[in-house]
Structure 1
Amino acid sequence: MRYLVFQLYAPMASWGEAATGEIRRSARHPSRSAILGLLGAALGIRRDEDDALAELRDGVAVAIKQLSPGVAVQDYHTAQVPGQDRKARRLTRRDELAVKDKLHTILSTREYRCDGSWRVAIRATETSRWSLDDVAEALQNPRFPLYFGRKSCPPAAPLAPRIVEAEGLRAALSHEFPQLTRLCPEEEHRRLGLGEEVAYAWEGESGDLPVQETRYPYDQPLHRGRWQFASRPEHWHQTREES
């Protein structure tokens, strides 16, 4: 099987989960929607290009190897919003702030993953519009800036995309990558929390990973404009191995 494999590392990343209430949680590993957003930005797909976004969604299968989930940190936010008015239609942030005499302050907390490290494997489906070579080239020379969940979370190490042939996901995600830092390997592992404990998350068949658990995250994009997502089955396997 042919895979496109690349790495993700940043001082801060935010892999959004379902947003309920004033606390916006982050998952421990990248969501499918986050990976699709990363690929879409690299390929130059705009947010209003619904057909292209749907083709990208249906054209790739995603797998993750979590080397370290990072440390959870929280950021305290305040924001101004207009009061409730059922007759008003506000389509943009500018529309909201235009009501200067009716603004209220709301509080929220955003969660991030600090110094997390992950590897990603992409497999093209039969209906894919883009080849793995096209996507690898786009990740090397992205059309739009890449970030990990939020614009304040840019990559801190090269994604180093490469095409590999392997019998399964475990073999594909075990290829060696450049070090994330200039520290010696032992010190890098200590500071980033890289140990023998790793976890895999994938969709579809793995080839060489037994399923320990199946989860159903709401990270399958349906419509970008309406922010609609669906659940999907995601398989999980946690094990001890050399990172």
Structure 2
Amino acid sequence: MAELVVFRMEAALAAFGDLQVGERRGSWRRPSHSGIAGLLAAALGLTRDDPAVPVLAQGFLMAVRSDRIGPPLADFHTAQTPPQSRKRSFATRRQELADKDLLGTIVSRRDYWMDVAFTVLIWPKPALTVRPQALAEALNRPAFPLFAGRRSCPFSAPLAARAVSAETVSEGFATYDANLAGPLEQAGLPCLQPGRDVALDAEFPQESWGAITRLHTETRRDLTGSRQSWQFALRQEVVGVFHAPETAGAAA
């Protein structure tokens, strides 16, 4: 029996790190590992340059259930820049824009997903030093504001993080759904309709999947490497579906 952390992410707009090439900032259809690591770090009050951040990022496996995802949205930005031929560095943005006669304009694109809802399961590795209950409490009362990717994407509902006990990934999701349904009904709030699509780290042993059938494997470059140079490592992700319900256990 493993002690897990499960929480939900609901937002009107969301963006999840894809390869950033040129002037387009794309987005995956579901949260990235580095994004979830950053979310946990912000909840715990860790800054980007804190040496505890890469340790935290290496201390867990994750599974993401896609409960709802709306249509894509493209947002275009214009920005003034000096000519690319001018090979010099600038100490400030003000210096960069000082010579107004030589400024040009570039158009960049940022992609988003609208009306999204995901349930995220954190499976701690032995190296993780933060207890699941403490991690859940931090997500519910974060030290820093939390966002669904970019800062322009606030969450539209509480994360409702919980520490649960389960033997498999699918049981962890089922336990979370069952324990959250009662309080939501008492508060007169709608329950999040569970999805069937799930993506989990390929490091999960197959016996820990539970009621999940594998469809295919994807490769994502979203493992936190160097935050100073914005480098990320490759990660294998198994994409599958729930093929049978499971009986939920008790919350931790």
TM-score by length of 2: 0.82
Q: How does 1:79-228 map to 2 (within 5 A)?
A: 79-84=79-84, 87-90=87-90, 93=93, 96-98=96-98, 100-174=100-174, 175-176=176-177, 177=180, 198-203=196-201, 204-205=203-204, 207=208, 208=210, 209-228=212-231
Deviation at 1:92, TM superposition (A): 5.9
CA-CA distance at 1:240 after TM superposition: 6.4
Q: 1:100 to 1:46 in 2, by over 3 A?
A: farther
Amino acid at match of 1:237: G
**Aligned pair 1:4/2:33, yes or no?**
no
Residue number in structure 1 paired with 2:235: 232
- How many residue pairs get aligned? The number is 233
SS of match in other structure, 1:111 = strand
Q: Offset at 1:24?
A: 2.0
| Aligned-residue RMSD, C-alpha | 2.6
Q: Residue 157 of structure 2 aligns to a residue in which SS?
A: coil
Question: Quick one: distance in 1 between partners of 2:200 and 2:93?
Answer: 36
Instruction: Tell me the equivalent position of 1:44.
Output: 45
Over 3 Å counting, the alpha-carbon distance change for 1:226 and 1:81 in structure 2 is same
CA deviation vs aligned residue, 1:69-120 (integer Å, no higher than 9, x gap) = 2221111211222222564234665554455444321112211111111000
What's the TM-score once normalised by structure 1's chain length? 0.85
Q: Retained in 2: the 8 A contact 1:198–1:241?
A: no
Structure-2 separation of matches of 1:92 and 1:134:
40
Identity over aligned residues, as a percent? 37
Aligned CA distance change for structure 1 residues 87 and 78 (closer, same or farther; 3 Å): closer
The structure whose residues are more often strand, as a share, is 2
Tell me the distance in 1 between the aligned counterparts of 2:96 and 2:170.
48
Whose Rg is larger?
2
Shift of 1:22: 3.0
Deviation, structure 1 residue 30: 0.7
Supply the distance in 2 between the matched residues of 1:32 and 1:7 (Cα, whole angstroms): 15
* Secondary structure of 1:19 counterpart: strand
- In 1, the alpha carbon distance for the partners of 2:57 and 2:195 equals 30
Residues 92 and 231 of structure 1: CA distance in aligned 2, closer, same or farther (over 3 Å): farther
Cα distance change of structure 1 residues 197 and 55 upon mapping to structure 2, 3 Å threshold: closer
Amino acid at match of 2:151: K
**Retained in 2: the 8 A contact 1:42–1:142?**
yes
